[in-house]
Chains A and B, each alone.
Chain A
Amino acid sequence: MLELRHRGSCPGPREAVSLPHREGEAAGGDHETESTSDKETDIDDRYGDLDSRTDSDIPEIPPSSDRTPEILKKALSGLSSRWKNWWIRGILTLTMISLFFLIIYMGSFMLMLLVLGIQVKCFHEIITIGYRVYHSYDLPWFRTLSWYFLLCVNYFFYGETVADYFATFVQREEQLQFLIRYHRFISFALYLAGFCMFVLSLVKKHYRLQFYMFAWTHVTLLITVTQSHLVIQNLFEGMIWFLVPISSVICNDITAYLFGFFFGRTPLIKLSPKKTWEGFIGGFFSTVVFGFIAAYVLSKYQYFVCPVEYRSDVNSFVTECEPSELFQLQTYSLPPFLKAVLRQERVSLYPFQIHSIALSTFASLIGPFGGFFASGFKRAFKIKDFANTIPGHGGIMDRFDCQYLMATFVHVYITSFIRGPNPSKVLQQLLVLQPEQQLNIYKTLKTHLIEKGILQPALKV
């Protein structure tokens, strides 16, 4: 539940419940000088001025009401404010982690739904900030259009994913076949409809505002929706590719905080004054170790390691397979200096653990930049938290800001270093070609396979 607030001279019935009087005056003061001329000039002009003012001139949006449940409040009423906050954060952290484990237990489908839910909530949070910044809650059509675009882009991405992984399921149903074959065209037509509605909805005094909100929506879609779909693609690769990166980022968050709390001395970056170099480096080493151990533990179970497949006979997702080489123990000879330290000649590792070092390194070194980006964003728009969804922690975006880049990195990593293209997709595309082309490809493939010795020339397979 977000408090919406109109400043000063804006017409509008909504007033914040907990609006401190001081803020109201300051906000009103901004517009006093222009209120008399507002009627003549474009409303857009006011925003032109807002744009070019430096940050310090713009008043802060006050934090909204406190959402901590009553139970917690009573239990902690004795403690001082600082420890109370710490306890709330701690309890909520544990709650979120347990929820995470529960959903993992319930399987990949639930995870997909969870990712979708988080994406929608993140989108909603960022768009709401946009409304508050631009006071554009009353813009004609705009709320509808934003959600419509979200729907379109999701439809496009899910269609591409579904077509790949549910190939057998899709072949059975006629309407689905039609939808899949012309998927891009249908998605584009839907998007165009939204675009034309936007153009038709442009209202004389609000052009600039409408363009801002249009751009805001698109950038938000670019950030949240693409990331969430890359997360789902990683998930289908094997749940371990979903779990290890996300846990590494969370671990880095927590350990950097703890190291900073106990040893923190040198500030890291002006954007986030509470981050320290000690926290950063300590977090890095702990995350690498954590990732290494988590990879070792998870690599044993087929449930985590196998690609998610949809079996048409059981009509559900199945994770059963022969684990690939990445997840089979291999012995590595240790380099000399480690030999001396550990006093062992060789060690048995899963190759995946080596990859996990790369993933954890990224999570600790580059992941925080996502967090700094979000901090800069919050300072730019003078907000303390993205929203108030989680007591003590802020909004969903606050929890996921460091994950932004991680999902893309994992996806790029997988496509570059781990696997090639998806075989069923290649087959699907082959079957769509013209018969002459298929014949040509068949001959090329045959020559290639015979050369490689995979196919015996005289054998009628």
Chain B
Amino acid sequence: MESESEAKVDGETASDSESRAESAPLPVSADDTPEVLNRALSNLSSRWKNWWVRGILTLAMIAFFFIIIYLGPMVLMIIVMCVQIKCFHEIITIGYNVYHSYDLPWFRTLSWYFLLCVNYFFYGETVTDYFFTLVQREEPLRILSKYHRFISFTLYLIGFCMFVLSLVKKHYRLQFYMFGWTHVTLLIVVTQSHLVIHNLFEGMIWFIVPISCVICNDIMAYMFGFFFGRTPLIKLSPKKTWEGFIGGFFATVVFGLLLSYVMSGYRCFVCPVEYNNDTNSFTVDCEPSDLFRLQEYNIPGVIQSVIGWKTVRMYPFQIHSIALSTFASLIGPFGGFFASGFKRAFKIKDFANTIPGHGGIMDRFDCQYLMATFVNVYIASFIRGPNPSKLIQQFLTLRPDQQLHIFNTLRSHLIDKGMLTSTTEDK
């Protein structure tokens, strides 16, 4: 990290440095390292001290992750929401620093207002799906959910009109830039976080395995690069190497296989999260689906000779985990390169200083950008079909003749498939 002095620009002219003074790279001045650590590590050289600080913080974050998993889906949802808000805050602050627009009239209020609107829209859609019975019982909630899109759109429009009314003569361009900046940030941060929550509701394993694969790839690629790294990978991040990349890929796939094997055994990870009306809390209890039942697979001839086994018992989910780990190691790093390019473009060293030794929350989550979307698309395309309870909900809002038509079509379809016989209707 000491070698990243290219963050500072050489050969600045006077006018540049004057404007740079305010948009200076968020200086790593305020050292957030706790006093305890500082004293304990005061003897070591600067490089090893940095390594230790990073290492300890990494372990702290991982321990924190485990605690949260233990506490359950509700706490996880809240944590995801907090991470989202912090990421939004970090990126918007960078925007303010770049454009010196901290004093723009209204703008801070408007950015947070838009964040609130978009979150309201997304949470409303999720809540309506998963808390269907709870919502139907309470009158105000029912109205809110029936006209949800209209209400969200109205809220957004109010923000839009406020923006237009707040345009000030000398600052048009700046205000449009910040407007664009806010919207792109919302697009990146808020949609990803909601896809994460969707994945979570599908089953905690769909949340834990992807995120752990990305973290593992980060760490493994770093280790392989540290010990064997020789060929640079991409000009954007000079410290990444091909050896790290490939080593990280194989290590992550193996890690994913092992992790999914361990987790597929437990119901609390594998079952979709449901809201139980009677107990008024989240439950994860179900009959595990086919994906999470051990099955025998024949090993292809070539590996048979190596391992000496004819068949192996695996969970089908482990096959999917190979796809997830592959994505995490091959495409996930592009999210990291994107963030590196962004930091170089705006001449900042880190997104913020939240985590000592690591930078901001965004620095930790930059490789996760695409992972959440991929997992969501993967689940929707290959794993599950549409959500049955949502379908019933949609069905109930149709007209009676449409309902009858669909019912009859479904009936003939089931009879064709042999699931129903025409005489045993009233079981």
Decide: B420 and A49 in contact? CB cutoff 8 A.
no
Residues of A within 8 A of B411 (CB): 442, 461
- Do A376 and B391 contact each other (CB < 8 Å), given the known contacts A185-B377, A454-B404? no
Interface string of A370-391 (1 = CB under 8 A from B): 0011001101110000000000
Residue-wise, chain B 341-380 has the 8 Å CB interface mask toward A (1 for contact) of: 1101111000000000000000000000010011001101
- The smallest C-beta distance from B84 to any residue of chain A, in angstroms, reads 19
- In the bound complex, how far is the Cα of B173 from the Cα of A409, in angstroms? 27
Q: Is B2 an interface residue (CB 8 A)?
A: no
Q: Contact partner of B397 among A412, A421, A430, CB < 8 A?
A: A421
CA distance A446 to B331 in the complex (A): 47
Q: Which of A80-88, A202-210, A246-254 contacts B (4 or more CB under 8 A)?
A: A202-210
The CA of A200 and the CA of B408, in the complex, are separated in Å by 54
- Tell me whether B381 and A435 are in contact (CB under 8 A): no
In the bound complex, how far is the Cα of B181 from the Cα of A369, in angstroms? Answer: 20
Report the bound CA distance from A369 to B160 in whole Å.
Answer: 8
Given A204-B235, A460-B425: A377 touches B164 (CB 8 Å cut-off):
no
Complex contact B19–A48 (CB within 8 A): yes
In the complex, chain B residues whose CB is within 8 Å of the CB of A413: 150
Give the docked Cα–Cα distance between A461 and B161 (Å).
55
> What CA separation (Å) do A461 and B425 show in the bound complex?
11
Contact residues of B between 399 and 417, Cβ < 8 Å to A: 399-400, 402-411, 413-414, 417
Interface digits, A4-30 against B, CB 8 Å rule (1 contact, 0 not)?
Answer: 000000000000000000000000000
Interface status of B265 (Cβ within 8 A of chain A): no
A460, B146: Cα distance in complex, Å: 35
Decide yes or no: A210 and B345 within 8 Å by CB, A40-B11, A188-B374 being known contacts: yes
Is A41 engaged at the interface, CB distance under 8 Å to the other chain? yes
The one of B15, B169, B414 that contacts A270, using a Cβ cutoff of 8 Å:
B169
CB-CB nearest in chain B for A378: B172
Residue ID in chain A nearest B158 by CB atoms: A366
Instruction: Say yes or no for A341: interface residue by CB 8 A criterion.
Output: no
Residues of B within 8 A of A405 (CB): 157, 160
A188 neighbours in B (Cβ, 8 Å): 373-374, 377
Contact partner of A440 (CB less than 8 A), chosen from B13, B100, B146, B388, is B388
What is the distance, in angstroms, from B367's C-beta to the closest C-beta of chain A?
Answer: 12
Complex Cα spacing A81 to B194, Å = 57
**Interface residues on chain B, number (Cβ under 8 Å):** 90
Q: A380-B173, A454-B400 are in contact. Are A433 and B388 (CB under 8 A)?
A: yes
Minimal beta-carbon separation of B15 from chain A (angstroms):
7
In the bound assembly, the distance between CA atoms of A381 and B149 in angstroms comes to 33
Per the bound structure, the CA–CA distance linking A187 and B350 in Å amounts to 32
A49 engages B16 (CB within 8 Å): yes
Residue from A40, A218, A405, A442 whose CB has the most chain B CB atoms within 10 Å: A442
| CB-CB nearest in chain A for B411 | A442
Given A44-B345, A185-B377, A438-B413, output 19 extra A-B contacts at Cβ < 8 Å.
A49-B15, A49-B19, A55-B170, A195-B370, A202-B341, A208-B346, A211-B342, A215-B184, A222-B187, A380-B172, A380-B173, A423-B406, A426-B394, A426-B395, A437-B385, A438-B414, A441-B388, A445-B410, A457-B426
List, sorted by A's number, 20 A–B pairs whose CB atoms are closer than 8 Å: A41-B12, A48-B20, A49-B15, A49-B16, A55-B169, A184-B377, A185-B378, A195-B370, A211-B346, A376-B176, A380-B175, A381-B176, A423-B398, A426-B406, A433-B388, A442-B410, A445-B395, A445-B403, A445-B407, A446-B407
Binding site for B on A (CB under 8 A): 33-34, 37, 40-42, 44-45, 48-49, 51-52, 54-56, 58, 181-182, 184-185, 188, 192, 195-196, 198-200, 202, 204, 207-208, 210-211, 215-216, 218-219, 222, 269-271, 366, 369, 372-373, 376-377, 379-381, 405, 408-409, 412-413, 415-417, 420-421, 423, 426-427, 429-435, 437-442, 444-446, 448-449, 452, 454-455, 457, 460-461
Which 4 A/B pairs are nearest by Cβ-Cβ distance? A380-B172, A207-B345, A420-B397, A40-B11
